[in-house]
Amino acid sequence: MPVLLELVRELAAYEREPDAVEATEQLLAAALFGPSPVASCSVALAEDGGVAGFALWYVTFSTWKGRPGMWLEDLFVRPAARGSGLGTALLQELARVCVDRGYPRFEWWVLDWNAPAIGFYRSLGAVPQDEWTTFRVDGDALQALAGQ
């Protein structure tokens, strides 16, 4: 877990939110390996055997399709390993999981300013879903909505 948490922190720095990480090794371990795991993670190894990237995902559900799908929460490849095919390999592995399990959808967000990622995803056949707006409730607003 220390390597995964390190990568999460590197991702947060890349996404211009270095102080936003609240995850701990214990939280990640529980989410990935606990008695009721809620997420899965694939890792990409560098030539030297170290971890060069990861893809963290979880199962979603489409009421329209009536079947589960996959949500890619985060994909990150360390800058030194970019362009080596590791990001493509991670996405190909997750696509195989979707196909093998009969998931009709594989989806994720990308930050609007991340032109390299947008270009990369488009090159793989991904299509932006511009007609949807993401909403989020967290912090005090989440507590208030829950009536707490």
Residue among 14, 58, 103, 121 flagged as catalytic: 121
Phi first, then psi: give them for residue 67, nearest 5 degrees: -145, 160
121: annotated active-site residue: yes
Report the C-alpha gap between 123 and 115 in whole angstroms.
12
Which tokens belong to 45?
């190894």
Which long-range contacts link 80-85 to residues 24+ away (Cβ below 8 Å)? 80/46, 80/52, 81/44, 81/46, 81/52, 81/53, 84/52
Catalytic residues, by residue number, are: 121
